[in-house]
Chains A and B, each alone.
Chain A
């Protein structure tokens, strides 16, 4: 609306004209936001509508049954839900602490030039398409896991059921580790920004009191950036939980519940990627769509948990 480049001139224009522009902008913005909301609602409705067949047939049992037998049209989501959650947990257990360390290194320890270089390299990792991670995982990382890491884990931690079974290099653990690599750049770059935002006055006063770098980081930077860092972890979680191609390549795609992390499993996203194209029977298709609905609900639950957590910490930490 405003044609003049000169700001003072445009401010001097009569008020109604500026108001009109304001209204127009507001309605455009509202329409954009509304579209997003409609889209989300539309997706839920459509998933709900198309999974009716499966919901009516299996009811609540869909969530508690680990059977997945397309020939007999008997479907249950338990192994997929389990795989989705376990692979995401593994990814977060690895990626969250690592990201924190990386962020601390970039902000507090590394020389400026080096920090810039590392920062760019990490952001570059985030730009790699997930299928590349998948292929790299299958051809290079899985053999490495099978030959070195899994035998080692089996030897020293084999008493724990999590690390039993033949080291095939393909399975839940490998999938979780690939996911960790994929979300690491996201989490660490957000964490870096959060740490950078800690006011230098606060840090300097801590240094002034004689605190070491480690003490400043532990007692000043991390607590004051806590909320942002939890947000970063949830960002990573959101990406890990729905990741499809990379996981499909290395998880083994088996519809069975196994305690061992060496065993192959599946996630909701990988099952959809594998089976959607050739699912021709209505019930099969409907069960797959219900899986999608379950994933949607799980993601929403995590989002709500994240919000609750942020609100809780905000109350505890009025700063």
Chain B
């Protein structure tokens, strides 16, 4: 439903926004308007669109973001056809250096394993990394397998086949999920590996988050993985996961944010931080960030100021909008690191940001 529902949701919020702030819109815009072009990941599209619209009302700067997929976003920014690219999977420091790019995390989200098992209540089932990997490898075939029972001593688990659901299309969600399995299970690492699309050993595959949710809701005894917002909107039964600190945690905006805060951003060259399996007792282990990629050398001062102004404004004032759409805003500490990076790496940042009209 994602792709179909979210644009409406965004549109509704945008319309609601317009109603409230009709005055600034009526103000005559000074000077020629600037348009910033961006392209890339589909996952952050709803929040980027919302931010862009709000920012446009405030400053008159138009942000035109096309959600063509992470792969496309990386290609477009490398080719220089857009002002910024967006990708769910970070580029390595080498790749960035070679193309003269910098990247920084803009927004985060969590991936949540969801199940359809009527014998088990919401959030009751607890899984360790190895069990989850075992299920996705096809080694653990039934819900009353010894491994699962051992972790859930109080639960009565049925003698049912586990129907494994994964993503058919290449996606950042799969990248984050398989990266996690790759980190925590040697078997997974040897047999499958990680990527935006992988050769899942068992199960059926749905197209998009909406496809996976539909399959899981349809198939009794199934397990799948979706972006957090789907688990919430579909009222799906999520799973508690054992994190690196050995504690079972539930997925929530807080546990995602804890994972991000505990990651060692400062030490990572090019912000290449993968937020899966992070330390911290309350960290959700399958968290991921979506990145913005820009050229170090900006051609046009006005455009680049407007663009960085947009990112800065989004960090500072976009958190509540993000939470409304079930995204996780970047923690303050990370934002400060990113801004320091802008100053040190890009030549023209911070000279003159576009003036905001009205309240930010």
> Which residues of A are in contact with B by a Cβ distance under 8 Å?
67-72, 138-139, 142-143, 146, 166, 168-171, 248-249, 252-255, 264, 266, 270, 273-275, 277-280
Contacts and interface: CB of A to CB of B under 8 A. Distances in A.
B134 to A, nearest CB: 19
B218 interface: yes
A277 B218 contact: no
Given A146-B218, A280-B75, A70 B197 contact: yes
Nearest to B219: A168
Given A170-B215, A249-B211, A71 B170 contact: no
B215 A69 contact: no
| Max chain B C-beta neighbours (<10 A), residue from A166, A248, A253 | A253
B221 to A, nearest CB: 10
Chain B interface size band reads 20 to 34
Contacts of B219: 168
A146 B70 CA distance: 35
Contact of A278 (B69, B214, B218): B69
Nearest to B72: A277
Nearest to B211: A249
B214 A264 contact: no
A168 B71 contact: no
Contacts of B206: 253
B280 to A, nearest CB: 29
Contacts of A70: 170, 195-199
Interface stretch (B122-130, B161-169, B318-326): B161-169
B14 interface: no
Nearest to A73: B195
A276 to B, nearest CB: 8
28 contacts: A68-B199, A70-B196, A70-B199, A71-B193, A71-B194, A138-B211, A138-B214, A139-B214, A146-B218, A166-B163, A168-B204, A170-B204, A170-B218, A171-B204, A248-B207, A249-B211, A252-B205, A253-B206, A254-B203, A255-B199, A266-B168, A277-B42, A277-B72, A278-B69, A278-B169, A278-B171, A278-B196, A280-B71
A278 B198 contact: no
Nearest to B174: A278
Contacts of A255: 199
Interface of B: 42, 68-72, 74-75, 161, 163, 168-172, 192-199, 203-207, 211, 214-215, 218-219
Contacts, number: 88
Given A71-B193, A280-B75, A280-B196, A274 B69 contact: no
B92 to A, nearest CB: 13
B194 A168 contact: no
Secondary structure at the A interface, as helix, strand, loop or mixed, is loop
| Max chain B C-beta neighbours (<10 A), residue from A67, A68, A138, A146 | A138
| Max chain B C-beta neighbours (<10 A), residue from A255, A266, A280 | A280
A274 B207 contact: yes
Nearest to B208: A274
A71 B195 CA distance: 6
B205 A277 contact: no
A277 B193 contact: no
Contacts of A278: 69-71, 169-172, 196-197
Contact of B205 (A71, A139, A264, A273): A264
Contacts of B199: 67-72, 255
B161 A166 contact: yes
A38 B303 CA distance: 41
Given A70-B199, A72-B193, A275 B170 contact: yes
| Max chain A C-beta neighbours (<10 A), residue from B69, B198, B199 | B199
Given A253-B207, A254-B203, A273-B169, 6 more contacts: A71-B199, A166-B163, A168-B163, A168-B218, A277-B170, A278-B69
The 4 closest A-B pairs by CB, nearest first: A278-B170, A280-B71, A253-B168, A277-B69
Contacts of B42: 277
Contacts of A142: 218
B176 to A, nearest CB: 13
A69 B72 CA distance: 20
Contacts of A170: 204, 215, 218
Contacts of B198: 69-71
Nearest to A138: B214
Contacts of A277: 42, 68-69, 71-72, 169-170
Nearest to A169: B218
A249 B218 CA distance: 13
Contacts of A168: 163, 204, 218-219
A280 B74 CA distance: 8
A275 B75 contact: no
Contacts of A68: 199
Nearest to A281: B71
| Max chain A C-beta neighbours (<10 A), residue from B72, B75, B170, B203 | B170
Contact of A253 (B71, B72, B195, B205): B205
A274 B68 contact: no
